[in-house]
Amino acid sequence: MKYLEAIRLALAELLADDQRVFIYGQDIAGPFGGAFKATKGLSERFPGRVLNSPISEDAMTGLAIGAAMDGMRPIVEYQFADFASVAFNQLVNHAGSIFYRTGRPCPIVARLPVGGTPGGGPFHCQMPETWLSNHPGLVVVAPATVADAYFMLKDAVACRDPVAFLEHKYLYYHLEAEFDPRVAEHPGLGRAVVRRQGDDLTIVAYSGMVHHATAAAAVLESDHNISAEVVDLRCVRPLDEETILASLARTGRIIIASEGFPFGGPTAEVAALVAEKGFAYLDAPPVRLAARDTPIPFHPELFAEHHPDDQAIVQAALELAKY
């Protein structure tokens, strides 16, 4: 099953199992079925519950908030996460503030296609987790596997807080795995997991970067005799501090890699966490790898050099191992 198919399956099951669920977004109804086809066939199976919206990210989100407060479990599909910046106000100031201000939960799910693809350019490749996670009240999750795409979407709908659900566009069709939702186990929504065990250093990643991290760990093992542990954050807000610190306690060295921009964000938060709460586990300073501090370039050659990849992680790991 592909990552995108797992999302579609989860959406279909959510619509089938829970009458409160509806999906709202641009171009999601049939026969088109969404820019990435995540909702292909769903409007036909669930008439009136997979609704095309105007190009109005702010009002789409405001509408979802109202419906959620009236008892629904709306799922909003933003065509690209980049455009959720138009909905910033409703997401952070409204959805994020409702529970604290009023004591009533606001269970909306914002599905955000994130991440870079060559040729996507500055406005179709961005990662929104840094600006979303800074605000209190929002949950931000970033599944990296087929099973997580399926389970975390269902968990996001079960969660009573507003959830930003980051779906990596490159993984949609490129990630495929054996997956049977009837037998697969899954941890809770906020739990980070160790994707690969290791002794010498920890690589923390999320979303598409998890695959670069595991590929780098394989190279480190085979070519350099370095045993790297890969921690997939899964949920970047709130952070599963326990799992991160437990891994660091085993390895003493940590690299935090992300496709996002370098200033602030989950990589900085994890680095601050290990400095504050994991100082006594450190054998070396924490290392952050992030995208360059420019808008994301269009040209594939520039794009490839804009964000860290397997090779960058391997290089950082080799240097870190010498400390």
Q: Which residues are catalytic?
A: 124
- 65 vs 219: CA distance, rounded Å: 46
Rounded to a whole number of angstroms, the minimum distance from the CB of residue 225 to other proteins is 14
Binding segment toward other proteins, per CB under 8 A, in 49-57, 202-210, 213-221, 225-233: 49-57
Residue 2 DSSP symbol: B
Residues 60-89 that bind other proteins (CB under 8 A): 60-72, 74, 86, 89
Place of tokens 């989860």: 10
Considering the rule CB under 8 A, would residue 307 count as an interface residue with other proteins? yes
User: 310-321 and 209-224 helices cross at what angle (nearest 10)?
Assistant: 50
Binders in 101-160 for other proteins, by CB under 8 A:
101-105, 113, 117-120, 124, 136-137, 139, 151, 154-155, 157-160
List helix spans (H) across the chain.
3-17, 42-45, 57-69, 88, 96-102, 129-133, 146-158, 169-174, 209-224, 241-251, 265-277, 300-304, 310-321
Pick 43 or 267: Cβ nearer other proteins = 267
Kindly determine how many residues on this chain lie close enough to bind other proteins according to the rule CB under 8 A. 111
Site stretch for other proteins (CB under 8 A), options 46-54, 201-209, 210-218, 219-227: 46-54
Consecutive H or E run containing 112? strand 109-114
Distance in angstroms (rounded) separating the CA atoms of residues 165 and 234? 10
Q: Which of residues 214-253 bind other proteins (CB under 8 A)?
A: 235, 238, 240, 252
Query: Which of these segments, 205-213, 214-222, 225-233, 306-314, binds other proteins (CB under 8 A)?
Result: 306-314
For the record, the structure tokens of 239 come out as 């952070």
